[in-house]
Structure 1
Amino acid sequence: MSDWQQVTFSDLQTPSCRQKAVPPQGGRDAMSAPTHDEHAAKVRAGWVRAPLARFLTLNVETVDVEPTRLYPTIGVLNRGRGLLYRDPVAGSSTSYKKLNRILPQMLIYSRLKAFEGAITVTPDDLPESFASQEFPTFAFAPDADPDFFRILTTTQSMWDALQGASKGMGGRRERVKPTDFLNIVMDIPPPPLQKRVVELLDAVDDQISALDTEANALSKVESGLRRDFFSKLDVSTVSAGEKFEMQLGRQKSARQSVGDHVHPYLRAANIGIGTLDLSDLKTMNFEPREQGKYAVFPDDVLLVEGGSVGQAALWTGEVDGFIGFDKHVIRIRAREGVSTPEYALQWCHWARETGQFAGQATGITIKALGFSRACSMGVPDLPVAQQAKLTGSLAAAAKQVAATRAEADRLRQVRAGLLSGLLDRTIEIESVDLEV
């Protein structure tokens, strides 16, 4: 190992991580040490390019449904995210005459949703579980490591292959048949390298899991501080419309999708709990006369009015130029001398956490807060001079949560790049040394 270039954990963040190990330079005897090509050939020698049938066998165990029995059922989440554990189903309440028994350490996928990457490997501690016959299961060959294939189910290459194997007419009616699944061709390393991939990825996953746990704990501390601060306020309340400037977003129609003034806009899907997801910004036409009314400026708070009611985030100018917002978002702007942006944001978080927004929302399938109801909600009338004292520590706690989540997201990107490089062999498995 010392004679070869090592790829460390920090290196995996840079383009250099995709370079293969290179031998030391110098005049060595050709017989005394392998050339780089000889080394690469040796590493690749055990790889097998073959249909999945080389490593998997269809292994479905069916049971007759008994009316008096309860059946713990499972589904499969999309994009390789594991199992979905459902409530037990009484045999008398289902129309299924037979169910598939789902055993530990089996590969399973949804025939209906395989094109969405609904595939995984069941955990080795899976309790007795069942699923409909839309969920075929497969046993592993002796030289196929279930944990390696679990990781393989999280890759874009597997999802693309499932999408390509999907047959049928129209979206949800499409299916991937077991025979077509087993015909998918992939490059699979020999067992020792399969185990090494698992070790490397598990090390990164452990760090991601630890960061997620830390972020969730910090978030609970932040929420506790917020409830404590607001509950101790001994002030009267005023309406939100009096404390803040509030504006409902623009209604979108087909004719407003085109024009001479097409700009991005924010919708409910872009707004999380204190976070913004700008990976998929939609656009619509905002005439110059409308842009003043529907513009989002730095320090505006964006509150979800319909759908995930009550989620709110602060806009800090993440996108250059004009950006608008649609009718499912309420823009909240601080009033000079009356309120601050951070106070508006913290009030939104507090109102969501204490169920005040949910209590005001109406609707059967999709809940909506309603602009007039939002404007009439009570806000503690804390003087602006005291708002900074209330929100300062909360902002610091939120910043710590955001930093921890950002680190976890960065590691997820590192993981994706590492896994891709290991499987397409642009990173030699034997040259990777994770410093964890």
Structure 2
Amino acid sequence: MEIEEMPKDEQRYAVRAGDLLVVEGHANPQEIGRCALAGPEAQGLLHQNHLFRLSGSCLLPRLAEYLLNSPSSRSHWLARSGTSSGLYTISRRALLDLPLPVIPTALQRRIVEVLDAVTEAERSIEAAIAKQRSLRGDIFAGLVADDCEGRRVTDVVELPSGQVDPRGMPYREQVLLAPDHVESRTGRVIGKETAEFQGAVSGKYVVQPDDVVLSKIRPALRKVALADFVGTCSADMYPLRVTSEVLPKFLWVTLLSEEFSRFAESVSGRTGIPKLNRKDLALYSMCVPPLNDQQRIVETLDAWDLKVANDEHELQKLRVLKQGLADDLLSGRVRADAVA
């Protein structure tokens, strides 16, 4: 595989359909070596100078894209990357040293057909998941009665008061939840790290199981977690503790809803960084149906979320399959004709 260099910048950075563009430098080391195949729509565009443009390979471009994006290739790039001024880079030599299999063209086409079929299945499931997530808000709105009693959130929720030093015991050994640990829009906790591990020094709020932890910074991201641990959270979050009138999970789904998101965005944009302060949060009026109705709503949404989780599991299986096939081809663990 050749890396083309042409004398004129316009020609040097011109993209042609069928070219492979590889990330040469990035602030995130996980991004270096990421590869994309240029389609007809890219014809005539210019690429940025932190990209390698590859062409003229004995491999079909589509197969080369799969192989270059495989976990084995990612490991190859990371092991050979360098860093300067916060930028991670891979050299031309590291790129050219990547071993690629020699496969007859007809067999390459069959392998691409297999990998493309897996990719198409991935896209189908991704579209289904996106649709299910978008409909979840409509389902929640439809389950809440139009004549539901509206209550100020501060009437049914306790806001935190006082902070603790995360360097002291027991807090330094407990989970410290920050906005980065919460997945946007889903409310999933995607990471748990202790205060000591994070090197925390400033004051934090105490968190108890069933607290609903709401990020007050950039509320449009909808980062709301339902705590299942004893620990602390960032001062950029509110740990909300419900009264006997509200189920914790019902408050959680309410704060993840479109309706609350619209409210939070409308009152948080008065400063440079959108922020939902206590005074504004206290203005929110939430639906508080009877507890048995809250439970019914929560159970309905749980069933919906389980379907999404099952689809996500199937999607992950397809991704592992595709990555495994590409890895096996690169490593020689499997013959090309066995894949096709």
Name the counterpart of 1:184. Answer: 97
Q: How many residues align?
A: 327
Could you say which structure has the larger radius of gyration? 1
2-structure distance, mates of 1:366, 1:413: 39
> Can you list the C-alpha shifts for 1:389-408, whole angstroms capped at 9, x where unaligned?
44443333233223222321
Q: Does 1:210 align with 2:121?
A: no
1:365 to 1:187, Cα distance in 2 relative to 1, 3 A: farther
Name the counterpart of 1:310. Answer: 222
2-structure distance, mates of 1:248, 1:117: 44
1:388 to 1:260, Cα distance in 2 relative to 1, 3 A: closer
Name the counterpart of 2:202. Answer: none
Q: TM-score, normalised by structure 2?
A: 0.79
> Can you list the C-alpha shifts for 1:230-249, whole angstroms capped at 9, x where unaligned?
5x522442221222234389
1-structure distance, mates of 2:20, 2:242: 54
- 5 Å-filtered alignment, 1:86-105, equals 100-105=13-18
Q: Does 1:155 align with 2:70?
A: yes
- 5 Å-filtered alignment, 1:148-297, equals 148-167=63-82, 169-172=84-87, 175-177=89-91, 179-192=92-105, 193-230=107-144, 233-247=146-160, 256=167, 261-272=172-183, 273-278=185-190, 280-284=191-195, 294-297=206-209
Uncovered stretches (5+) of structure 1, i.e. residues with no partner: 1-54, 65-97, 287-292
Q: CA deviation at 1:163?
A: 3.9
> Can you list the C-alpha shifts for 1:147-193, whole angstroms capped at 9, x where unaligned?
11111232233234334554563222x5445x435532314231345
Name the counterpart of 2:26. Answer: 113
Q: CA deviation at 1:277?
A: 4.3
Q: Indicate the SS of the match to 1:333.
A: strand
1-structure distance, mates of 2:13, 2:164: 47
Letter in 2 for 1:388: Q
Letter in 2 for 1:161: H
1:138 to 1:167, Cα distance in 2 relative to 1, 3 A: same
- Please identify which structure carries the higher helix content: 2
2-structure distance, mates of 1:109, 1:390: 48
Q: CA deviation at 1:106?
A: 0.6
Letter in 1 for 2:215: V
Which of residues 43, 46, 65 in structure 2 aligns to 1:130?
46
Q: Which moved more, 1:257-266 or 1:210-219?
A: 257-266
Uncovered stretches (5+) of structure 2, i.e. residues with no partner: 198-204
Which of residues 271, 275, 278 in structure 2 aligns to 1:368?
275
Percentage of matched positions with identical amino acids: 15
Q: Does 1:380 align with 2:287?
A: yes
1-structure distance, mates of 2:95, 2:123: 32
Letter in 2 for 1:201: L
2-structure distance, mates of 1:419, 1:170: 33
Name the counterpart of 2:337. Answer: 430
Q: Does 1:406 align with 2:321?
A: no
Contact map agreement 2:213 2:225 (CA 8 A) in 1: yes
Q: TM-score, normalised by structure 1?
A: 0.64
1:384 to 1:168, Cα distance in 2 relative to 1, 3 A: closer
Q: Does 1:329 align with 2:237?
A: yes
Contact map agreement 1:60 1:136 (CA 8 A) in 2: no
1-structure distance, mates of 2:271, 2:47: 30
Contact map agreement 2:19 2:53 (CA 8 A) in 1: yes
Contact map agreement 1:352 1:358 (CA 8 A) in 2: no
Letter in 2 for 1:121: A
- 5 Å-filtered alignment, 1:2-17, equals none
1:406 to 1:373, Cα distance in 2 relative to 1, 3 A: farther
1:168 to 1:411, Cα distance in 2 relative to 1, 3 A: closer
Q: Indicate the SS of the match to 1:185.
A: coil
Q: Indicate the SS of the match to 2:41.
A: coil
Q: CA deviation at 1:283?
A: 1.4
1:260 to 1:281, Cα distance in 2 relative to 1, 3 A: closer
Q: CA deviation at 1:144?
A: 1.5
1:343 to 1:164, Cα distance in 2 relative to 1, 3 A: closer
> Can you list the C-alpha shifts for 1:350-402, whole angstroms capped at 9, x where unaligned?
25665112223247664322344334422123333432344443333233223
Q: CA deviation at 1:257?
A: 8.5
Letter in 2 for 1:303: L
